[in-house]
Amino acid sequence: MRWRLCGAALAGVGLLALAGAAVLAAEENGEKPYTVVDGKVDQHTYNGWRRYTESCLRCHGPDGAGSSYAPDLTESLKHIDEDQFKEVVVNGRVNVNAAADQVMPPFGEVEDVMYYLDDIYAYLKARADGMLDRGRPARIGQQ
């Protein structure tokens, strides 16, 4: 389901805006995309960390902390919203000029990213909000 929604969002900006509006409304109501209790996270946020490690770490560094050639996402997510984040993940971004050769690939057709995009966002947002420390997050209800 979520995969199909993301696929549709890629094709139709309207849908993406719709989905985004729903999330925005949720955030305005004070709802966060993650749950953190005593430093422990819900299963979605935990999975976000795992999927982040799979598909993003090689460039953006452990725990979203950035590398010598890709931005610190715990900083980036203070400045862009969920829609913008997802737009970049789906479509990629190219910044190649005399001073930079940074390329974010489009992940719009990559199952292991698209299926879990909400989870990845939840994890990184928790990091950016300062709600979650570095390292492997502990899960609520598990040791």
Partner 1 sequence: MKPRGYLLVAAAIVMPMSGALANDELLKLEKDPNQWVMPTGNYANERYSELKQITAQNVQNLHPVWSFSTGVLRGHEGAPLVIGDVMYVHTPFPNNVFALDLNNNGRIIWKYEPRQDPSVIPVMCCDTVNRGLAYGDGKIILDQADATVVALDAKTGKEVWKATNGDPKKGETMTSAPMIVKDKVIVGISGGEFGVQGRVTAYELKDGKRAWIAYSVGPDDQILFDSKTTSMGKPVGANSSTSTWQGDQWKIGGGATWGWYSYDPQLNLVYYGSGNPSTWNPVQRPGDNKWSMTIFARSPDTGVAKWVYQMTPHDEWDYDGINEMILADIPVKGKETKALVHFDRNGFGYTLNRETGELLVAEKYDPKVNWATHVDMATGRPEVVKEYSTQAGGEDHNTQQICPAALGTKDQQPAAFSPVTKLFYVPTNHVCMDYEPFKVSYTAGQPYVGATLSMYPPKGDTNLGNFIAWDAGNGKIVWSDPEPFSVWSGALATAGGVVFYGTLEGYLKAVDAQSGKELYRYKTPSGIIGNVMTYEHGGKQYIAVLSGVGGWAGIGMAAGLTKDTDGLGAVGAYKSLANYTQLGGVLTVFALP
CB of 118 to partner 1, least distance (A): 18
**Spatial CA neighbour of 103 closest among 93, 116, 112, 118:** 93
Q: Pick between residue 29 and residue 68 the one whose CB is nearest to partner 1.
A: 68
Q: Judge contact between 48 and 54, C-beta under 8 A.
A: no
CB of 44 to partner 1, least distance (A): 15
Q: Pick between residue 9 and residue 113 the one whose CB is nearest to partner 1.
A: 113
* Interface with partner 1 (CB under 8 A): 49-50, 53-55, 57-59, 61-63, 65-69, 72, 92, 94, 96, 99-105, 107, 109-112, 133-136
Measure Cα distances from 13 to 9, 83, 98, 139, 141 in Å: 6, 11, 32, 35, 39
Q: Pick between residue 24 and residue 57 the one whose CB is nearest to partner 1.
A: 57
* DSSP secondary structure code for residue 63 in this structure: G
CB of 36 to partner 1, least distance (A): 15
CB of 123 to partner 1, least distance (A): 12
**Spatial CA neighbour of 37 closest among 47, 46, 48:** 46
